Amino acid sequence: MNLLLANLINLTIEIMSLLILIEVIGSWIMLLRVNLPAFVYDLLRAVHGITGIVLNPIRSIIPSIGGLDISPIVALILLDVIRRVLVGALIR
């Protein structure tokens, strides 16, 4: 049972990490105004909504530095630490 829960936590954090990376790349695409199909922009907006759950609280604590938003970096580090602690505790 613990192994199943550890795998579920690991998978959830991996998916959120991937979505954060897609959010970063998507923000660059939207900033550059690349001409892509409308559904791609809809998907990027959906990803933005999902990742906002993790990134918005970090953004409220850590402001952007010179226009550079470092909240995705902080979020990825925090997610990795949380994963290591939780999965490590469940496997022992």
How would residue 92 be classed by pLDDT, with cut points 50, 70 and 90? confident
Q: Where are the domains of the chain?
A: 2-91
Question: Mean pLDDT throughout 29-52?
Answer: 91
How would residue 1 be classed by pLDDT, with cut points 50, 70 and 90? confident
- CB burial of residue 62 (10 Å; 0-12, 13-18, 19+): middle
Q: What is the pLDDT of residue 91?
A: 85
Q: What is the pLDDT of residue 6?
A: 92
The CA distance from 32 to 43, in Å, is 17
- pTM listed for this prediction: 0.90
Question: Mean pLDDT throughout 27-43?
Answer: 89
